[in-house]
Structure 1
């Protein structure tokens, strides 16, 4: 889980603080959940101050870039993000996670159902929703930003984020005494979006609730490109 810090700068007696609420990670942050959007992603700011010479510096940089043969942005960089309306979601079969007993990987596949190419990268928001539990009916999964930095999905093609979960094993107890919790559905928000997609959760796969754990065994990984 990656913590995003907020930097405050004080100038004289005035203080300016900025705060951004993110739903799903776009390209370098890791926060929980199903809005994930993750989350106005990829924002940047450049500031400058000074009495003079700014134009000269800009010109020098421009000249240097021209001499070095700097290439223009690629088509991939300018491809618009996939919206929720562009996508459908589905879950694959669980497989054991790196030979770790009780931990499983569930592929969460996003398919581009639109007629145009779109960019899908970053970490989606994922909530597991199920019956009542001491921790509540919704388990917000933390996110790990370990996916590809850019990924263009053509119409009919897909990209996948793996959902890793720790199952309930005999004798194990989760947060607040939770036991035997099985989600009924997974709710996900693609990176950069606010509208969710919902898919049914495998009825045979229990999940140990670790809502208050520092390093829980359940989390969602970044999106990777699927083979063409």
Structure 2
């Protein structure tokens, strides 16, 4: 009987120790969460920009030596600061939404995180060889679909520039990583 009583005491002590450790872990986790929250509040708490918080536009074309260069601009239209990191996605489409040519290739430049306060902009450079110079099959898009980094939803921008490469060996289109501002 003494052995059973001793086993019960050990089990009770073990259960108490587990309960105390569990509450200490919960307190530590709560403290870490509260500290992280305070740090985010102190720095403005900027988190990733979502498609619904942005507006896309295409800036003025800067032609040069058979090249077409255009800034693709994302503007923060929300009431909070948010961040963008990396390359946006892009695709030329016709009036029915069918893709024209290959999606732009990402340039190998190292992306930086851009923090956008409400109303601020970031841009990526869209570059391609003029189809009349390169010999690529050409098409005139109705729009450019722009997808912010880490998002699935696209923003549709009416295309007002000239033809773009839509096929053939010289149909490469390039897109740089996002940088602060509205273009070069």
- Shorter chain as denominator, the TM-score bin is 0.5 to 0.7
CA–CA distance in structure 2, aligned partners of residues 224 and 147 of structure 1: 11
Measured after TM superposition, the shift of residue 212 of structure 1 is 5.6
Which blocks of at least 5 consecutive residues in structure 2 are unaligned? 1-38
TM-score for both structures, normalised by structure 2: 0.66
- Give the TM-score of the pair, scaled to structure 1: 0.54
1:224 aligns with 2:182: no
Q: Indicate how the Cα distance of structure 1 residues 147 and 84 shifts in structure 2: closer, same or farther if over 3 A, else same.
A: farther
Note if 1:209 corresponds to 2:166.
yes
Distance, in Å, in 2 between the alignment partners of 1:157 and 1:147 is 21
More helix by share: 2
Structure 1 residues 129-174: Cα deviation after superposition (integer angstroms, max 9, x where no partner): 1379xxx63531111242542110000111111111222116x532
- Alpha-carbon contact 2:112-2:178 (below 8 Å) kept: no
The answer to whether the Cα contact below 8 Å between 1:87 and 1:113 also exists between their aligned partners in 2 is yes
Matches within 5 A, 1:79-158: 79-96=46-63, 99=64, 101-130=65-94, 137-146=100-109, 148-158=111-121
Q: What residue in structure 1 maps to residue 31 of structure 2?
A: none
| Structure 1 partner of 2:128 | 165
Uncovered stretches (5+) of structure 1, i.e. residues with no partner: 1-71
Kindly indicate whether the alpha-carbon contact (under 8 Å) linking 2:87 and 2:111 is maintained by their aligned counterparts in 1. Answer: no
C-alpha separation between the residues in 1 aligned to 2:110 and 2:181?
12
* RMSD (CA atoms): 2.9
Distance 1:122 1:146 in 2: 9
Find the structure with the greater CA-based Rg. 2
More strand by share: 2
Q: In structure 2, do the counterparts of structure 1 residues 147 and 130 end up closer, same or farther at CA, with 3 Å as the change threshold? A: farther
Q: Following TM superposition, by how much is the alpha carbon of 1:183 offset from its aligned partner in structure 2, in angstroms? A: 1.5
In structure 2, relative to structure 1, the CA distance for the partners of 1:182 and 1:224 (3 Å cut) is same
Local SS of the residue matching 1:169? helix
Is the aligned partner of 1:199 residue 2:157? Answer: yes
Aligned mates of 1:217, 1:142 — CA distance in 2: 7
Question: Retained in 1: the 8 A contact 2:101–2:167?
Answer: no
